[in-house]
A and B are shown apart, each in its own frame.
Chain A
Amino acid sequence: MNGDRSSGVDARSRSVWSDRLSRYADRAGQFVFGDAIGLTLWLGVVLLGALSWRVGFFITDTYPIANAVANLADGRLAMTPPDFRYSLTLGTQPGLHEYGGRFYARNYGQVVAALPFLWLLEGASAVAPPRLVLAGGWALGVVGLGRRLAARFDRRWLRLVAVAVASAWFAAAVVLATALDRSQLPLVALQLSTLAAAGLVAVSCYRLVGAFHDRRVAVAAGVALALATPVGFWATIPKRHVLVTALVFGSAFAFARSRQLDGRASHVAHGLAYGALGLVAWVHAFEGFFLTAALFVVDVLTEPRKSRRRLAVVGGIFALSVLPMAVTNVLINGNPLRPPRLLPGVGPESVELAPTGGPESGGGDGGSGTAGGDADADSTSGDSTRPLLDELFGLLSPLFVLLTLAETVLAQLVFIGNYAVAAVSDGVAAASEHERLWEIFVRRGDSASLSGVNDYEPIDLSVVESTPIVGTLLALPAVAAVHLRRHGVAVSRLGPRRQTDLLVASYAVVLTLVYLPRLPLFSQLTVRYLLPAIALASYCPFRLPAVREAISGAPRTTAGVYAGTVLAGPALVAVVLGVLDPALGEAIQFHALLGLCVAAVAAVLVVGRTVAPDRVSPRSVAVGVALAGGATTVYLSLASVVYFAYGPFAFDVVGLIARLVPIL
């Protein structure tokens, strides 16, 4: 019959469509997470990270970003004071910029990344209370994680445990629920976006290590990156650092794949290595610039396959990836290469990795005087100019428009180039100041706290204090010496693995160098400016043979000691500090000393294993590395649950637990 046949066709076309959709979803999932383990890892990291989540502003820099999320969701890029939802005055929002009488935030890539989360939250909150939406989401996530783990390890009881945990969690959330106002949702969305990015850091690191080594080492590296480095600290504190770290790792992984693959897949991966950095530029233009420069240099040095087709693919993807930044900049100030950070700031003074003024300001440090091509005669202050867009509309000849644009772009490039050279040479100069390096990398000391910031509390940690596993890199010279003695060195003959090492090292060095002159600085907590570099450095131990042998040779020891440290550590520290009754700064410096100690132990063991493999067993290296990783996790958990109480917890249950820990 006619009707039946047509409904049959409908059903068939529907199933074709749903097939196609699920295929696309599978491919998207594969693109982001790689495989089932990657997805499980992401879910696990996000669910764990959420436990320490406080809905609040830890650092005032977040105000303008959160305001931008709220406004952009309403379709407004430019803000006026009545549009501010958080922190109503101008003087309290570092990182707020002004152009043409309107206000703009910065890091628009981060702002846009938060929007999908905001839409999801707004949608769910239309029918349910926001507080329970979060708890319900967490509970469902746990059920999903339980299913994945049960399937992976073939243990059905894991699903039962997950259902029990999820139900208890949600029940407790309902009983203890406090109000979470819908006006907080943009902030919550911003925090969710960086939490998701922290999960992606773990996944990208897992995939990067997995490209070269066995799966156990890869999983350990993924877990370590999220939970045993400050990435976990900044996961729900929505600064740009975690997002940039995720993109940088994405770039390094794409680079590694481009070296391993052939043909079209290799071209695309190669392009994506640049594309991820184009997106970094949307978050922080100058970090993106320096990273791209580093990638370009390593790329030219190591890639012999420079076909025209490859160049076209790479160039195309990179051009696409910088498009969002360029469009955002044009919409804000008419100049595609002038990010908000180069516009006059209206908040309190903040330390910036950006030149002051612009090429149009005609002078200043590093700005080229000749580049003031489109400076206005009628400008009221030195660096305010008529928007380029106005000019464009006024000009009739398209050729002339192009010329003007090219001139602006060129002027901006010259300006940025000059600045880049200055920034790197400043960094190199700062790298020879031993006291500075000691404070940044080893023992933080009290110089910042004595200046009275943060109520004289020494809350900052050095790189090794906050990330003891980086201490194991002391073995690098030994590894290098052993390797050089055997193989010698030749950059052009490096395999994919070594090429990626070179890239990771270049990224880490360039990101460290440009920030060195600005450090040590107050309110860095875990040297946050260096977070991407620290994360890259934390990947390196998993390339050391000694550490890899420890993980694959003694996986149970590694996992057991880490789990033991993470479970018993906070309780032990709480008991010790409960007796000592420290102030906030004392508690944090206690962790600093603890971190230095375990870093030293881990470093000695790894160096020992590298130099004298007969004397040090993989098992003892496993203990050392797991302790070092566990020390950071313990600090992260206590820091968010007890030390830094900047807002109510996303989950009221955690608040209840936190009240029972009498440390401070």
Chain B
Amino acid sequence: MVSVARLERLAVAVVAVTLLLTGPFGVVDATARNPTTVGDGRANATVERLDTSGLIVEGGRFGTGVDYLRIPDATVSVSDIEGRPRLVYRVSVPELGVDRTTTQLLSGGQSGTVRLGMRDRGLDPDGVTEQRYRATITVRVQSFEYDQTVFAADETVEVRP
């Protein structure tokens, strides 16, 4: 039977050897597989779900005392990814001074649906004076060499009491 102490020593040894192998003098770059920054590349994307009626202004709950611009999630299906492009989901409501962007890096081999969530935006309740605002929503595939808008819409943001 293998003793626990031997297992511990083995684990420590494996960690040490792996560290050396992936280090500056090693043979493998462990981080190359998992890029975190956008590069060159392209992808096909179509917006599957973006409930624009969810784009509204309403009062905050739980005693927050501010208003919120509620921003719906976007569900995008992607295919044929080459290189390292990214998805950019952008919502802007100029009259409220809101311009929000969320991005998601795509990498080769990944396909299927991607959910782009965007946080609601807090607003000064005194700054919300109109009943309606104009908003622009876009979803793009973007890389250093490529920029394709796959969804663009002008929407009306309703202010709910």
Q: Is B truly associated with A?
A: yes
A residues contacting B by CB (< 8 A) are: 124, 126-129, 131-133, 136, 139-140, 143, 147, 156, 159-160, 163, 166-167, 170, 174, 176-180, 443, 445-446, 449-450, 452, 455-458, 580, 582-586, 589-590, 592-593, 648, 652, 662, 664
> Could you say which residues of chain A place their CB within 8 Å of the CB of B20?
127-128
A174 close to B18 (CB less than 8 A): yes
B residues contacting A by CB (< 8 A) are: 4, 7-8, 11-12, 14-16, 18-20, 22-26, 30-31, 33-36, 60-66, 68, 70, 115, 117, 119-125
B22 close to A139 (CB less than 8 A): no
Across the interface, name the chain B residue whose C-beta is closest to A582.
B61
> Could you say which residues of chain B place their CB within 8 Å of the CB of A124?
19
A457 close to B7 (CB less than 8 A): no
B62 close to A586 (CB less than 8 A): yes
Which of B4, B25, B62, B119 sits near A163, CB closer than 8 Å?
B4
> Could you say which residues of chain B place their CB within 8 Å of the CB of A176?
34
> Could you say which residues of chain B place their CB within 8 Å of the CB of A589?
60-64
A652 close to B30 (CB less than 8 A): no
> Could you say which residues of chain B place their CB within 8 Å of the CB of A126?
23-24
A583 close to B122 (CB less than 8 A): yes
Q: How far is the CB of B3 from chain A (nearest CB, A)?
A: 10
Contacts known (A132-B30, A156-B4, A585-B66); A662 close to B18, Cβ less than 8 A? no
CA distance A443 to B65 in the complex (A): 13
> Could you say which residues of chain B place their CB within 8 Å of the CB of A664?
117, 119-120
> Could you say which residues of chain A place their CB within 8 Å of the CB of B36?
178-179, 648
Across the interface, name the chain A residue whose C-beta is closest to B66.
A456
Q: How far is the CB of A170 from chain B (nearest CB, A)?
A: 5
CA distance A129 to B19 in the complex (A): 7
Which of A127, A133, A177, A450 sits near B65, CB closer than 8 Å?
A450
Q: How far is the CB of B107 from chain A (nearest CB, A)?
A: 11
Known: A131-B31, A458-B66, A592-B62. 9 other contacts (CB 8 A): A124-B19, A126-B24, A136-B19, A159-B4, A170-B15, A178-B35, A456-B122, A585-B60, A586-B62
> Could you say which residues of chain B place their CB within 8 Å of the CB of A662?
115, 117
For the residues of A in contact with B, the DSSP-based class is helix
CA distance A505 to B22 in the complex (A): 52
A143 close to B119 (CB less than 8 A): no
Which of B8, B122, B125 sits near A457, CB closer than 8 Å?
B122
Which of A140, A156, A449 sits near B122, CB closer than 8 Å?
A449
CA distance A136 to B15 in the complex (A): 6
> Could you say which residues of chain A place their CB within 8 Å of the CB of B117?
662, 664
Across the interface, name the chain B residue whose C-beta is closest to A589.
B62
Which of B24, B30, B61, B63 sits near A445, CB closer than 8 Å?
B63
A160 close to B4 (CB less than 8 A): yes
CA distance A174 to B33 in the complex (A): 10
CA distance A583 to B31 in the complex (A): 34
Which of B25, B35, B119 sits near A583, CB closer than 8 Å?
B119
Contacts known (A128-B22, A445-B65); A140 close to B124, Cβ less than 8 A? no
Q: How far is the CB of B97 from chain A (nearest CB, A)?
A: 10
B22 close to A132 (CB less than 8 A): yes
B22 close to A129 (CB less than 8 A): yes
CA distance A127 to B31 in the complex (A): 15
CA distance A488 to B61 in the complex (A): 49
Across the interface, name the chain B residue whose C-beta is closest to A137.
B15
Show 30 residue pairs from A and B whose CB-CB distance is below 8 angstroms, ordered by the A residue: A124-B19, A126-B23, A127-B20, A127-B24, A128-B20, A128-B23, A131-B31, A132-B18, A132-B19, A132-B30, A136-B18, A147-B8, A160-B7, A177-B31, A179-B31, A179-B36, A443-B63, A446-B64, A452-B124, A456-B66, A456-B124, A458-B60, A458-B66, A458-B122, A580-B61, A582-B62, A584-B120, A585-B60, A585-B122, A589-B60
The list of the 6 closest CB pairs from A to B, nearest first, reads: A446-B65, A456-B122, A583-B120, A128-B19, A589-B62, A128-B23
> Could you say which residues of chain B place their CB within 8 Å of the CB of A583?
60, 64, 68, 70, 119-122
A140 close to B119 (CB less than 8 A): no
> Could you say which residues of chain A place their CB within 8 Å of the CB of B22?
128-129, 132, 174, 177
CA distance A443 to B34 in the complex (A): 44
A449 close to B14 (CB less than 8 A): no
Across the interface, name the chain A residue whose C-beta is closest to B120.
A583
> Could you say which residues of chain B place their CB within 8 Å of the CB of A590?
62
> Could you say which residues of chain B place their CB within 8 Å of the CB of A458?
60, 64-66, 122
Across the interface, name the chain A residue whose C-beta is closest to B28.
A174
Which of B31, B33, B115 sits near A129, CB closer than 8 Å?
B31
Q: How far is the CB of A174 from chain B (nearest CB, A)?
A: 6
Q: How far is the CB of A617 from chain B (nearest CB, A)?
A: 33
> Could you say which residues of chain A place their CB within 8 Å of the CB of B119?
583-584, 664
CA distance A176 to B123 in the complex (A): 38
Q: How far is the CB of A263 from chain B (nearest CB, A)?
A: 43
